Amino acid sequence: MKDVMGLIYTGENDIHLGELTSLRAVAALPIAGRYRVIDFQLSSMVHSGIKRVGVITQKNYQSLMDHLGSGREWDLHGKVGLQILPPFLTRDGQGMYDGLLDSLKSNLNFLRLSSEEYIVLTNSHSIYNMDYTDAVKQHIETDADITVMYMQPSEAFDGEGFEGEADAHFTVGEDKVITAMEVGPSHPTCHCPSLKIYVARRERLLQLVEQSAANGYHHFGRDLIQRSVNNHSLKICGYEYKGYCCQMDSIQAYFNFNMSMNDPKVRAALFPAERPVYTKVRDDLPARYMGGQCSNSLIANGCIIEGTVINSVLFRGVKVAKGAVVKNSIVMQDAQIQEGAEIDHCILDKQSVIRRNGRLIAPAAYPIVIAKKVVI
């Protein structure tokens, strides 16, 4: 896919993730023991042959910039490569985006100065490992104005399918054209969740964004996609993605997703050997076990385990001391669980510490989040 560029919008509303995103964008949220959410979108783009990727940032983007650096880890440090697009103050804007459409308007220059024929535009809260090639191919074949990815609704999750709550749903016709769209209905009549991943010709998207802005629109999904579906002014097609996709849209979703990493089927869906997920490397040595006990858990490099770890995910450099018990928990990098301490159904953010003999037991339905660097 030589002639395709990528654009990742990281300005989503993330209030449902509470403390986890108070200091970072969803895109920079640590997941699966060593990754951040954006690693999955970036790696998917790179494996699809995309060489130019823009990352639109909004608030809290320091940790995201620190993570992305020059884009080297994703092989995006070349002449084209990765471009971070922070918000800026203009004559007619405060640098605060009122949604995706707004942010595209602010970054029209990046779109104009790029040379690729097509663009893949994705959100930064969906976790997947996909090849966009087919979607672009379908987009070209159907000659659509915009193609939106969607999935079939899934009953039970089994290594593939859609995890999470989509606010937009589609009905898609035989000819791939989206015939109806609903946003956040209480009794939906459309059933296919939107992935909010879009394919368009770059020039066409430029026109549409400029036009929408001229009309005073802000919301990409409602004002551009839904309006066009309703009045048939544009050809909006759907591309059905068959694979795994998880939405990182609440603390419970975050908890469940990480726990699902202990399911070999989910791991196989997200980490196929031929499409590795790249991330910033930390140069830790392998995890070290000294006594202790570990079961049904995902453990990253740099961990030192002397205590008990059950049904959990440990990020890089976590220490579980003698006699400590970590159960059903997600422990982010460099956090410590000291001697005799016990946690159950907790999410420990980076560098937090549970002091000796401390106990934090949360109910299964309501995991506790311990913020970054907090000592308990």
Partner 1 sequence: MRKKQCVAMLLAGGQGSRLGILTKNVAKPAVPYGGKYRIIDFPLSNCTNSGIDVVGVLTQYRPLELNAYIGSGSPWDLDLANGGVFILPPYHSGKTGEWYKGTANAIYQNIPFIAQWDPEYVLVLSGDHIYKMDYAAMLQSHIDNNADLTIAVREVPWAEAPRFGILNTDENNQITEFEEKPKNPKSNKASMGVYIFNWSKMRKYLEQDELNPNSENDFGKNIIPDMLADNQRLFTYTFDGYWKDVGTIESLWEANMDLLEMPMPIDLYDKKWRIYARNPGMPPHSVAEGAKVVDSLITEGCEVKGVVNHSVLFAGVTVETGAEITDAVIMPGAVIERGAVVRRTIVAENARICAGAVVGEETGNIAVIGPKAVIGPGEKVAAGVQVDADAQ
Of residues 96, 92, 93, 74, the one with CA closest to residue 83: 74
Nearer to partner 1, 184 or 286 (CB): 286
Least Å distance between CB 323 and partner 1? 16
Nearer to partner 1, 14 or 163 (CB): 163
Nearer to partner 1, 167 or 284 (CB): 284
* 248 three-class SS: coil
Which helix (H) or strand (E) segment is 342 a member of? Answer: strand 342-344
Question: Measured between alpha carbons, how far is 39 from 49 in angstroms, rounded to an integer?
Answer: 15
Least Å distance between CB 43 and partner 1? 9
Least Å distance between CB 268 and partner 1? 10
Nearer to partner 1, 32 or 181 (CB): 32
**What tokens does 76 get?**
């995006």
Least Å distance between CB 374 and partner 1? 22
Nearer to partner 1, 214 or 290 (CB): 290
Question: Measured between alpha carbons, how far is 365 from 368 in angstroms, rounded to an integer?
Answer: 10
Beta strand residue intervals within 89-232, DSSP E: 118-123, 126-127, 146-150, 161-163, 168-172, 178-183, 192-201
Least Å distance between CB 293 and partner 1? 7
* 372 three-class SS: coil
Least Å distance between CB 321 and partner 1? 14
> What's the one-letter identity of residue 126?
S
| Long-range residue pairs from 188-191, CB within 8 A, at least 24 positions apart, any chain | 191/153
Question: Measured between alpha carbons, how far is 376 from 373 in angstroms, rounded to an integer?
Answer: 10
Nearer to partner 1, 114 or 301 (CB): 301
Q: Give residue for tokens 């995309």.
A: 50
Nearer to partner 1, 255 or 315 (CB): 315
Question: Measured between alpha carbons, how far is 196 from 181 in angstroms, rounded to an integer?
Answer: 12
Name the site residues for partner 1 (rule: CB under 8 A): 32-35, 72, 261-262, 264, 267, 270-271, 276-279, 281, 283, 285-301, 309, 313-315
Nearer to partner 1, 49 or 93 (CB): 49
Least Å distance between CB 93 and partner 1? 38
Q: What is the 3-state secondary structure (H, E, C) of 189-204?
A: CCCEEEEEEEEEEHHH
**Burial profile 271-289: b = 16 or more Cβ within 10 angstroms, e = fewer:** eeeeeebbbeeeeeeebee
Least Å distance between CB 329 and partner 1? 15
